């Protein structure tokens, strides 16, 4: 059984029924995935693409977690300014390489 296909079909069905729910695609090829998904669910409104580099994103999350001494990712939601500041540093290349 192709589990990825089953999950994609389930996801598409859920977001076809709930047409106002926002979708955020985080992936290196987010635009391509967004386009494919938009075709399947027949909408582009509230379907957002966020191209990310997984290594950079993980470094940002880990740095913010260390800075605020948090153990669970959901605790980082209240530290959006920190995440933005660290992500900007990564984008400038100062943290891009380990």
pLDDT of residue 71: 92
pLDDT of residue 94: 59
Instruction: Determine if residue 46 is left, alpha or beta; phi over 0 gives left, psi from -120 to 50 gives alpha, anything else beta.
Output: left
The HSE-up count of residue 18 (CA atoms within 13 Å, CB side) is 9
In the predicted structure, residue 44 carries a pLDDT above the cut 50: yes
In the predicted structure, residue 97 carries a pLDDT above the cut 60: no
pLDDT of residue 98: 40
pTM, rounded to two decimals = 0.69
Domain extent listing, the chain = 3-51, 54-91
CA angle 24, 6, 26 (to 5 degrees): 20
SS3 49: strand
C-alpha to C-alpha distance for 40 and 19, rounded to whole angstroms: 12
SS3 76: helix
């Amino acid at each position: 059984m192709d589990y990825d296909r089953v999950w994609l079909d389930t996801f598409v069905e859920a977001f076809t029924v709930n047409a106002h729910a926002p979708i955020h695609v985080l992936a290196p090829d987010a635009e391509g995935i967004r386009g494919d998904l938009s075709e399947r669910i027949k909408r582009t409104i509230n379907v957002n693409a966020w191209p990310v580099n997984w290594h950079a994103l993980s470094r940002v999350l880990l740095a913010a977690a260390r800075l605020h001494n948090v153990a669970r990712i959901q605790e980082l939601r209240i530290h959006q300014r920190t995440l933005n500041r660290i992500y900007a540093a990564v984008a400038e290349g100062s943290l891009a390489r380990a």
